[in-house]
Amino acid sequence: MDHPFGIDFGGTGIKGAPVDLEVGDFAHDRVRIDTPRPATPQAVADVFQQIVDSFPASSTPVGVTVPGIVRHGVVLSAANIDKSWIRGDADAIFTEALGREVHVVNDADAAGLAEAEYGAARGRKGLVMVITLGTGIGSAMIYDGILVPNSEMGHLELGGAVAEVTTATSAREREDLSWAEWSKRLTVYFRHLERLFTPDLFVIGGGVSKSWEKFGHLIEVETEMVPATLQNRAGIVGAALVAHRKAGTED
């Protein structure tokens, strides 16, 4: 059986695998290659081709996460990748390069969709906000299973500062904050999200979710809050899911 392919394009590594959407997991072990320097679209396309060629030939669609804002396949920001991506039609560039239908999606949006379909938010109705805590703060808003793309909740301003600068995992490490000190900042941030959106569920992702027992209970909010469950598989799984859904709507 052919499976849609997911590629997670990050600042340091590019990982990909075919995904079994029945179970929401890799159909084969993933392949990882270091992100090229500079990470231009053509250089990245060459790595994508190497990863895809590591698996049996297929014509299934490919989904790709991008660390930037994506609108209708066009990349609109490039904080951690080459500036030549900006305003580029990544869907078209990679479809031509790979000879397969390719759809790009913001990396946090892909992870959020995966958590909603297969992970911590599976079967949940209403508004789910998936927030990833890492170098910055990523976000995905999903309402009854439908993604509202490019929410960029890490860029909200709190107390005169951008939220992710003071509240991301990188801020805790940089300032050597205790879990309790950091959780006070997280409480302010998540209460702000509550006031703006009144979500039904927060799902907390990023590598720090593995340490959930150290800080999750210290965040004082009314909304139910749970850790993400797919961890580093979420990007690839979500990308493949996006490609499958988009290919289905365009048939």
- For residue 210, being part of any structural domain is answered with yes
Q: How far apart are CA 202 and CA 50, in angstroms?
A: 37
If DSSP codes are grouped into helix, strand and coil, which group holds residue 238?
A: helix
If asked whether residues 12 and 104 sit together in one domain, one would say yes
If asked whether residues 130 and 163 sit together in one domain, one would say yes
- For residue 118, being part of any structural domain is answered with no
Name which of 21, 27, 14, 105 is nearest 63 in CA terms: 105
If asked whether residues 104 and 21 sit together in one domain, one would say yes
Range of the domain at 134: 124-229
Count CB atoms within 10 A of the CB of residue 160: 6
If asked whether residues 90 and 171 sit together in one domain, one would say no
Give yes or no for residue 2 having a pLDDT over 90: no
Give yes or no for residue 251 having a pLDDT over 60: no
Give the count of domains, the chain. 2
pLDDT single digits (tens) 63-101:
999 988 999 999 998 766 778 889 989 999 999 999 999
Prediction pTM value: 0.90
If asked whether residues 15 and 93 sit together in one domain, one would say yes
Place of tokens 């031509």: 96
Q: How far apart are CA 138 and CA 191, in angstroms?
A: 17
pLDDT single digits (tens) 98-138:
999 999 999 999 999 999 999 999 999 999 999 999 989 99
- For residue 145, being part of any structural domain is answered with yes
What's the CATH number where 14 sits?
A: 3.30.420.40
